[in-house]
Chain A
Amino acid sequence: MGVQHYLFVSAVLASLGVIAMVSRRNAVSILMGIELILNAAALNFVAFGRYGRETAATPWLSGQIFGIFTIVLAAAEAAIALAIIIAIYHARANINADELQELRQ
């Protein structure tokens, strides 16, 4: 198993996430696509950390630390996004992304 096997899995996950972000209209589904992309990014960090070359400036565990930060940011992002979705649902009873266009004039 080399780094490229993991890069393949991560590329598939990232492009599936992009498809979900572009094609879904429910805001929660778009959020799921974003989670897929963030998972792909964290997987890349860990794979490069494990198989890449270590230098004095970048110990190999840095990859896993970046993965942890990615997970933390994903948690923060999911919490904020769902709060916004619930708030919009209270106001509009609808969270379809193509019907929320008050800001478009």
Chain B
Amino acid sequence: MQAADFFFYLFAALTIVPAIVVVFSRNLLYAAFSLLFTLSGVAALYALMGADFLAITQVLVYIGGILILILFGVMFTQRVYDVRAEAASFNRRRAMLIGIVVFATLWGTARSVPWPVGPPRALAPTTAGIGDLLLSRFLLPFEVVSVLLLVVLIGVVLVGKKEVEE
């Protein structure tokens, strides 16, 4: 049990410290690369909770897909090498206040509500169970999400293509 505690705190620090850099770094590239560590930390926390399939999905989709997209976004829209790719902030004091209020609300709720706790579950592979549930109980959301992805695919091409001069 000691080892699990140690790894929890390690992964929690790996998640939170780069997230602070993501939010407050003035260099947009540093923020994007810190996001890599935050997303890996969340994947490690999933693995620690025994969610093996979800951890791999997180690495594939977030780190392999979304992070690359964000890096493309940064590099297309900022002159990274000429000027300092600066991510100026405004309303910083107000934003800190809002963030503290949000945190107090979330953590106060999480701490004060007696969550119903079940028996501890053994660590076991989850992929087969997730597949069964997706094709039985969650079949309708699964199909709706498939249609949504198709719509997104077409919509992104339409929005992102350059207007052709007449």
Contacts and interface: CB of A to CB of B under 8 A. Distances in A.
B83 interface: no
A73 B87 CA distance: 26
A53 interface: yes
A31 to B, nearest CB: 7
A60 B152 CA distance: 30
A28 B57 contact: no
B116 A32 contact: no
Interface of A is mostly: helix
B57 A71 contact: yes
Interface string B18-51: 0110110000100110010011001001101111
Contact of A65 (B72, B130, B160): B130
Contacts of B126: 61, 64
A48 B113 CA distance: 13
Interface residues of A, number: 72
Contact of A78 (B69, B145, B160): B69
Contacts, number: 231
B99 A65 contact: no
Contact of A3 (B28, B45, B115): B115
B155 to A, nearest CB: 6
Given A22-B95, A22-B98, A25-B90, A14 B23 contact: no
Contacts of A14: 102-103, 106
A16 B19 contact: yes
Interface of B: 4-5, 8, 12, 15-16, 19-20, 22-23, 28, 31-32, 35, 38-39, 42, 45-46, 48-51, 53-54, 57-58, 61-62, 65-66, 69-70, 72-74, 76-78, 87-92, 94-96, 98-100, 102-103, 106-107, 110-111, 115-118, 121, 126, 129-130, 133-134, 137-138, 141, 145, 148-149, 152, 155-156, 159-160, 162-163
Interface of A: 1-20, 22-26, 28-29, 31-33, 35-36, 39, 42-43, 46-54, 59-62, 64-65, 67-69, 71-76, 78-80, 82-87, 89-90, 95, 98
18 contacts: A8-B107, A11-B110, A13-B15, A13-B38, A14-B103, A22-B98, A23-B92, A23-B94, A24-B89, A28-B32, A46-B51, A47-B49, A53-B116, A62-B138, A65-B133, A83-B159, A86-B77, A87-B159
